[in-house]
Amino acid sequence: MSIWRNVRLNMETFDLYLASASPRREELLRTLGLNFITCPVDADESIFDHESVSKRVELLAVHKAKLAAQQYGIQSGWIIGADTLVEIPAETNTSPIILGKPADYNEAKAMLIQLSGRMHLVWTGIAIINVTENSVHTTVNRTEVHFTQMSPATIDAYLATNEWKGVAAAYRIQGKGGCFIHHIKGSYSCVMGLPICDFYGILVQSGYPSMEQWGNAAQ
C-alpha cells in the first residue's frame, strides 16, 4: 500500500489533484503555474488489456482518477488521471507490439532493441473528474516518434543512465533518450506523459477556470 494514502490532505488549500507519481507530469503542470497536490494510486494497469490501445489509455486514466477520489477521500475540486502506452505498429503477418513500463533491466533492453531504427506511436490518455459536479472529461493523444538506429553498445550505455526506470518503452524524450529521436509528429509533451494543449482544453471544458482567470492565483 502506498504511504501516500495516509497523507492528510488540506482540502481547502488545493482544488486540483494529480493521480500520478510521474515526475514528468508534475513538471509539466508546474510549467503552467498550477497549484496541485500529487495523489499517487496503486492501479492494476492490466485490467483493460482486452481493449484497443487508445481505449486502454483512456479507461486507465479514468480509473486512476476515480481511485484517487476513493483512496484520498477527495470530495470537491478536479482530479487529473493519465496513462501512457507505446505501440509499435503491426507489420506484415504480425500484431502490434504494446510497451508499458519495463519491469527490469532485461525487459528495458528488449524494448530499446525493438524501438531501434523504427517508428512507434505514443498514446497518452487524460481524464479530468470534476468531483463537485460528478462529471468526467477525457481525451487521447497519439504522437509518432521516429528512432534512429542504436548499436548494442549505445543501448547498454543508455541503460546505464537508469532513465529507463518507471517510464513507458524505457526511454525519456526530455533526457538522454532524446539523442535517439530523429523526429516526432505530434505533441512533445504527449511523449513526456501529458499533452499540454489537450490537457488545457479538457481542463477548461471540465469547468476549471481558464488561463485569463488564473491571475496570480496559480503562481
Q: Exactly one of 83, 104, 156, 198 is catalytic; which is it?
A: 83
- Residue 83 annotated among the catalytic residues of the structure: yes
Buried b (16+ CB within 10 A) or exposed e, 160-190: eeebbeebbbbbbbeeebeebbeebebbebb
* Non-local CB neighbours of 211 within 8 Å, separated by 6+ positions: 200
Is 152 in a helix, a strand, or coil?
helix
Q: How many CB atoms lie within 10 A of CB 129?
A: 26
Alpha carbons 100 and 18: distance in angstroms, whole number: 20
CB 2 within 8 A of CB 40: yes
3-state secondary structure 173-187: CCCHHHHHEEEEECC
Residues designated catalytic: 83
